[in-house]
Amino acid sequence: MQDLSDLALSQEDWLMKRVLQYAKDQGYVKYTSTLVEAWRTSIVGLSEALRQSVKIYNDAPDFGPDEDFKKDPIASFGILEAQRHRCRGITLTMFLGLMKYYRQSYVDLVMTKGPGGPSAERNKLYLERFFDRIELGFVTEWVQQSENDRVPELQNANRLMTNEKNKYLTIFESLANPVILISARNKIENMNHAAIQLFSHGEVSGAYYYGKEDGPKDLEWLSNELGDFAEKDQLEVFLEKDLNLRESKRHFEIKFKRMLDVSGKFSGIIVILNDITERKQVEEEKSNLIVELKNALTQVKQLTGFIPICSSCKKIRDDQGYWSEVERYISEHSEAEFSHGICPECMRKLYPEIADDVLGRLEKDEKDSKGFYA
């Protein structure tokens, strides 16, 4: 029977989807978990019990009238499940009804993906006896508890669930970003403390949940976007939008995300707001600065490459082939401006009678001279 165990262990996702579909079709999801992992865990537990079973029973595990199911490793799985589900308010008929569809899912797996012929019939019979033992263990545990014992068990379970609810409600209220839960009709079902503060100055956490805060009932400024998202198959989407709040215009990054509910009970949308007004202002200032720098760079002219210059008169030839004075050429191709002076060599050549006297006085007055004097 090892092939049966290996098949079940390798097809956990297939089994999970199969039993979930049966549960949806028959209405059991009204009372079951909304999360994928809970369904996967139930399949993992059953497949592990099946793996342990084939180690003990080579053939279909039949049962007799005097058997003690508390000592049976297969029935012990049902006993444990009885203890878990009984305190959650699940009835015996409800559990056994859903268990029939778990059984059917495993049988479907054998008949559609397992080996055919005699092996299929043998595996099917093994599964039937395997699930019979689980159900007998469940019923054995269930009927042994009296009504007097069940009341305290239910009371304790209710306290634990209430505390768990309060824990996650506290986490929801404590989130820094405004979060809004939207129903399938695009109406607000709940909003956390940050959202209340954003829209209506609420200072008390939990005010919207407990009906103490008269906050908005819908998001009119997002109605079009919510409507478009609701009609599509996307799991999540991001967008940006402005919102006028108390004479102040704020810019928000907004995320729409569908609720992760495989049961289909909760089909609403989660809206998460992130105020990015300051970030947008910084980005805008940065963009403006970049534009200014680009404009400034376009006004800067640079001389690059080879410049043809006459070796005699020192005129420069431009791109059109015309020869221009050095001053004119440089003025047209850069931001430089000229002032005219005379170098020491030219002064001695042109004004020899006064050159030494003038240059001596300049050298004395301007110790840092580099050779050119205005």
Q: Which CATH class is domain 176-280?
A: alpha beta
Measured from the Cβ of residue 177, the count of other Cβ atoms closer than 10 Å reads 14
Please tell me the predicted confidence (pLDDT) of residue 130. 94
Longest CA–CA span in the chain (Å) reads 142
Residue 302 zone, left/alpha/beta (φ > 0; ψ -120 to 50; rest): beta
pLDDT band at 221 (very low <50, low <70, confident <90, very high): confident
pTM for the model: 0.67
Q: What are phi and psi of 170, to 5 degrees?
A: -65, -40
Amino acid at 244: N
- For 17-55, the pLDDT digits (tens) are 999 999 999 999 988 888 889 899 999 999 999 999 999
Please tell me the predicted confidence (pLDDT) of residue 11. 94
Please tell me the predicted confidence (pLDDT) of residue 372. 45
Cα pseudo-dihedral 34, 35, 41, 44, rounded to 10: 100
Please tell me the predicted confidence (pLDDT) of residue 79. 85
Cα 260 off chain centre by: 12
Residue 51: closest CA among 85, 4, 12: 4
DSSP string, 120-157: HHHHHHHHHHHHHHHHHHHHHHHHTS-HHHHHHHHHHH
Q: Among 31-40, 195-204, 238-247, 328-337, which stretch is predicted with the lowest mean pLDDT? A: 328-337
Q: What number is the average pLDDT over the span 144-149?
A: 70
| Percent of the residues in the chain that have a pLDDT greater than 90, as a whole number | 33
Secondary structure of residue 216 in the 3-state scheme: coil
Beta carbons of 95 and 77 less than 8 angstroms apart: no
Q: What number is the average pLDDT over the span 130-157?
A: 80
* Domain 2-145, CATH: 1.10.490.10
10 contact partners, CB below 8 Å, separation of at least 6: none
What value does the mean pLDDT of the chain take? 84
Q: What number is the average pLDDT over the span 127-136?
A: 93
Please tell me the predicted confidence (pLDDT) of residue 80. 85
Residue 258: closest CA among 246, 275, 270, 241: 270
- Is 1 a residue whose pLDDT tops 90? no
Amino acid at 365: D
Please tell me the predicted confidence (pLDDT) of residue 174. 93
Pairwise CA distance, residues 172 & 166, whole Å: 10
Alpha carbon separation from 107 to 8, 104, 114 (Å, rounded): 10, 5, 10
The sign of the CA dihedral 185, 187, 190, 194 is positive
Burial 224-244 (b: 16+ CB within 10 A, else e): ebbeebbeeeeeeeeeeeebe
Tokens of 315: 């005129």
Tokens of 16: 């999970």
- Is 257 a residue whose pLDDT tops 90? yes
Give 155 or 59, the one with higher predicted confidence.
59
- Is 374 a residue whose pLDDT tops 50? no
The sign of the CA dihedral 85, 87, 92, 93 is negative
318 contact partners, CB below 8 Å, separation of at least 6: 324, 329
- For 261-308, the pLDDT digits (tens) are 888 888 889 999 999 999 999 999 999 999 988 887 776 666 666 778
Query: Do the domains 176-280 and 2-145 match in fold?
Result: no
Please tell me the predicted confidence (pLDDT) of residue 371. 45
Give 346 or 98, the one with higher predicted confidence.
98
Please tell me the predicted confidence (pLDDT) of residue 84. 80
Q: What number is the average pLDDT over the span 160-165?
A: 86
Helix axes 12-26, 2-10, angle to 10 degrees: 70
- Is 373 a residue whose pLDDT tops 60? no
- Is 70 a residue whose pLDDT tops 80? no
pLDDT band at 239 (very low <50, low <70, confident <90, very high): very high
Q: Which of 96-100, 152-156, 264-268 holds the top average pLDDT?
A: 96-100
Q: Where are the domains of the chain?
A: 2-145, 176-280, 316-365
Pairwise CA distance, residues 200 & 194, whole Å: 10
Q: Among 157-166, 251-260, 335-344, 346-355, which stretch is predicted with the lowest mean pLDDT? A: 335-344
Please tell me the predicted confidence (pLDDT) of residue 78. 85
Q: What are phi and psi of 135, to 5 degrees?
A: -70, -35
The CA-based angle 130-77-152, given to 5 degrees, is 140
Pairwise CA distance, residues 139 & 350, whole Å: 126
Residue 262: closest CA among 23, 82, 7, 78: 23
Give 295 or 124, the one with higher predicted confidence.
124
Q: What are phi and psi of 192, to 5 degrees?
A: -80, 180
Pairwise CA distance, residues 240 & 271, whole Å: 12
Pairwise CA distance, residues 270 & 258, whole Å: 6
- For 296-333, the pLDDT digits (tens) are 777 666 666 677 888 777 787 877 777 888 777 777 77
